Amino acid sequence: MSTDTALLILGGGCAGLSLAMQLAALGRDCPRTVIIEPRTEYANDRTWCFWGSAAAPLADLSCHQWSTMMVRAGRRITFVDCAATPYRMIAAADFYAAALRAIAGNARITLAAGERVTAAPLKQDARWQVTTNRTSYAATTVIDTRPGPPAQQGGATLWQSFSGIEIDCDEAVFDPACVDLMDFSLADPDRIQFTYVLPLSAQRALIEVTVFDPMPLSAADLATSLEQAVDARVHGLPYQLRRSEQGILPMGSVPTGAPHDPTYVHAGLGNGGARPSSGYAFQRIQRWAGQCAARIAAGLPLQGHVADPFLLQAMDQLFLSVLQSQPASAPALFVALFGQRDGARVLRFLSDEGSPADYLGLIAALPARPFLQQIPATLQRVLRQRRAAAA
């Protein structure tokens, strides 16, 4: 006998739980919902950062925020003032706890923890049949936020692979006022590599090594670079490891668009959740969750992540094409991008809030030649992607 429900959410990670929080706020108007999630316990497995004012979704969960950030390439250093939309950090533990509280507060939502979808969902008599390791469900609608296929070369224009550790150093070595967003000091000439440092106090920081490359890299691949990056910060001083985090995010070429069956929608990182040029996904997922819950409340068909406007897609793809074809130019490009007079421009662009005037300002700040060379191939690629998404 299968459990009958109105809505099944496959995956209780960032996207699944963000939607659950929005649905919980609907009170009695929330459809009967089951979230299927393999984990039985949520660990503090990551931090989410984004630029946002106090009014940004879930900004109240921020455990840290910074008003200044730095990008460094060789001797060129640029500081970005982001006081108007601080760079905020949410600890996964706080996000998961808030989501679990919201779910517990609405009896119409059930978290089926310790359950994993084990077979491809099937539609029979207008109901989706979903089998897990423990039981089976029948649902009118499904939102699938499970991760896509494993990262592999060709699956994205570039992969953003990163590995980091949060440490307590015995002495004060960090500047808690300034995030090192991209430090190319330890750059590898064959790939785009930088260090990212989130200083939580003068003695505590999350230090990550990030690589943008057509080939996805594991934490083991990045281990030596991470060791060097940490050494460069702590100068040989003793430190204690608090936790580690790693990930591989897609940058470009992720299919988005209208679902083939409006009763089965994909969402999350691998389904249009990640911004192609940055891999940032948290705020896009929050916006999607808010819109999706509003549609559910209004009785409208479900919606996955809406494809970005053509101009934004073209800008992202152009930038990625230049990075892909000329990786050695990346440090100088990022310094130029963040070093322009109106620093807020690039932050709006990265936060999906840029205007055409912002796009023009960004283009003007960058060297023309490599971008002009990539325009024909980029336009072809974007048009191909849009046709594929609309099919």
Ligand X SMILES: Cc1cc2nc3c(=O)[nH]c(=O)nc-3n(C[C@H](O)[C@H](O)[C@H](O)COP(=O)(O)OP(=O)(O)OC[C@H]3O[C@@H](n4cnc5c(N)ncnc54)[C@H](O)[C@@H]3O)c2cc1C
Q: What is the DSSP string of 178-225?
A: EEEEEEGGG--TTSEEEEEEEESSSSEEEEEEEEEESS---HHHHHHH
Q: Note the maximum CA span of the chain.
A: 67
Q: Which of 23, 49, 109, 333 binds ligand X (CB under 6 A)?
A: 49
Minimum distance between the CB of residue 189 and ligand X, rounded to whole angstroms? 27
How many residues interact with ligand X (rule CB under 6 A)? Answer: 30
Site string for ligand X, 9-28 (x = CB under 6 A): -xxxxxxx------------
Strands 109-113 and 33-37: parallel
Residue 159 CB, nearest distance to ligand X (Å)? 12
- Closer residue to ligand X in complex, CB, 279/331: 279
Closest residue to ligand X in the complex (CB): 13
Q: Which stretch, 97-105, 149-157, 181-189, 273-281, contacts ligand X (CB under 6 A)?
A: 273-281
- Residue 37 lies near ligand X (rule: CB under 6 A): yes
- Rounded to whole angstroms, how far apart are CA atoms 204 and 106? 38
Which of 24, 30, 112, 249 is close enough to bind ligand X by CB under 6 A?
A: 249
Regarding 86 and contact with ligand X (CB under 6 A), the answer is: no
> Does 281 interact with ligand X (rule: CB under 6 A)?
yes
Residue in 8, 46, 174, 349 binding ligand X, rule: CB under 6 A: 46
Which residue lies nearer to ligand X by CB, 351 or 374? 351
Instruction: Give the integer Cα–Cα distance in Å for 196 and 12.
Output: 28
Out of 30, 36, 169, 181, name the contact with ligand X by CB under 6 A.
36
Number of Cβ atoms within 10 Å of the Cβ of 288:
25
Q: Which is nearer to ligand X, 11 or 331 (CB)?
A: 11
Return the C-alpha torsion angle 61, 63, 69, 74, nearest 10: -120
Q: Are strands 68-73 and 178-183 parallel, antiparallel or unpaired?
A: parallel
How many beta carbons lie within 10 A of that of residue 308, not counting itself? 18
Evaluate whether 338 touches 78 at the Cβ level (below 8 Å): yes
Q: From the CB of 165, what's the least distance to ligand X, in Å?
A: 12
Rank residues 41 and 190 by Cβ distance to ligand X and give the closer one: 41
Alpha-carbon gap, residue 192 to 212, rounded angstroms: 5
Alpha-carbon distance of 22 to 356, in angstroms, equals: 31
The residue within the footprint of ligand X, chosen from 22, 78, 145, 157 (CB under 6 A), is 145
Positive or negative torsion for Cα 80, 76, 334, 168: negative
226 near ligand X (CB under 6 A): no
Helix (H, G, I), strand (E, B) or coil at 69: strand
Residues near ligand X (CB under 6 A) are 10-16, 36-39, 46, 48-50, 116-117, 145-147, 245, 247, 249, 268-269, 273, 280-282, 285
